[in-house]
Amino acid sequence: MGVWQPHPPPAQSEREGSEMKAVLHDRYGPPEVLRIDEVPRPVPADDELLVRVHASTVTRSDCGYRSATPFFARFFTGLRRPKQPIVGTELAGIVEETGSAVTEFAVGDEVFGLRSGANAEYVCLRTGGPVAHKPRSLSFAEAAALPDGASIARACLAKVELGPATRIVVYGATGAIGTAGVQLAKAAGAHVTAVCDAKNVELVRSLGADVVIDYGREDFTRNGEVYDVVFDAVGKHSFRRCRRSLKTGGTFITTDLGWGWHVPFLALATRVLGSKRVTLPIPTYTKEDVLHVKTLVEAGKYHPVIDRVYPLEQVVEATRYVETGQKTGNVVLTLEAGA
């Protein structure tokens, strides 16, 4: 799974409207615990938008919330059963209703953003939260695939200084976070080395990577190159293995607690010991995140990567595919024809 958020986004408004379809889970478990059912449609508060969702996604973090993996996640999502039964995080759609205090958006606006419970026909979004007008050049499916990976990668890279003098390696450069990391680092002017599998070398090169390494043919930790930053975008490497690839003063960034509880201790210890740091950012989704990625899209410096698109009704199949660990970029769910 991706970076765990200690405080999941709040549930939808409890005020009842008409019915809508949504993807639910009443218990933790495999993808098969997901089901589509009718639930009350949310009603926007004074500072919220009611958005009719045209496209959403299935992310690694969504899978972690659903399965409560690692187990400590239950302390945030519910010990015995999920506090938030509707799954999903990313969305793009059209504003159908606005609260009385909303001035930034109007009915009919096309928007994208992040909200717990995004795998549903309707979602309420607070206007001060992570929501923005959709880039005109993108479809709803492409816009839905923007914010999660970009927000997590941005939080990770905020821990280091990026510029023309920075050499960074992005390990796992083909996932949602990895493809975002390559593009964000390149947009900041860094020299980017991307590590991926053979089939995606040309894709990653098209995202702006200066050097692309096929991990099946070369181990970047043994090629003698050193970097200012090693960004493990899939949580499958370790500081011990990557340390020799870091310059003095360099930083190792990981996105996942799943493989090692010692990571937080390393992050604390390397603040005061040694010449190389470990960091494990815990991102919080912000409006600044979605506005930043929108600006990059409109400047031609960022492109969403979509692997597969499924209709909402095939959410179980989409989730199974995400959990294979083989996806490239994002997996999208569509709720409207032509999304």
DSSP codes of every residue in 92-157 = EEEEEEE-TT--S--TT-EEEEE-TT-SBSEEEEETTSSEEEPPTTS-HHHHHTSHHHHHHHHHHH
Q: Please, which pLDDT band fits residue 264 given cuts at 50, 70 and 90? A: low
Task: Enter the pTM of the model.
Answer: 0.90
- The answer to whether 153 touches 253, Cβ cutoff 8 Å, is no
Q: What's the CA gap between 8 and 284, in Å, rounded?
A: 9
Q: Please, which pLDDT band fits residue 75 given cuts at 50, 70 and 90? A: confident
Q: What's the CA gap between 165 and 134, in Å, rounded?
A: 33
Q: What is the pLDDT of residues 287-332, one digit of tens each?
A: 999 999 999 999 999 999 999 999 999 999 999 999 999 999 999 9
Q: What is the CATH number of domain 159-279?
A: 3.40.50.720
pLDDT for 237:
84
Delimit the domains of the chain by residue range: 19-148+285-334, 159-279
**How large is the average pLDDT for residues 213-222?**
95
Q: Please, which pLDDT band fits residue 267 given cuts at 50, 70 and 90? A: low
- CATH architecture of the region 19-148+285-334: Alpha-Beta Complex (3.90)
pLDDT for 222:
93
pLDDT for 148:
96
Q: Please, which pLDDT band fits residue 12 given cuts at 50, 70 and 90? A: very low
> Residue 46, class by beta-carbon neighbours within 10 Å (0-12 exposed, 13-18 middle, 19+ buried)?
exposed
> Across all residues in the chain, what is the average pLDDT?
90
The shares of helix, strand and coil residues in the chain, as percent rounded to the nearest 5, are: 30, 25, 45
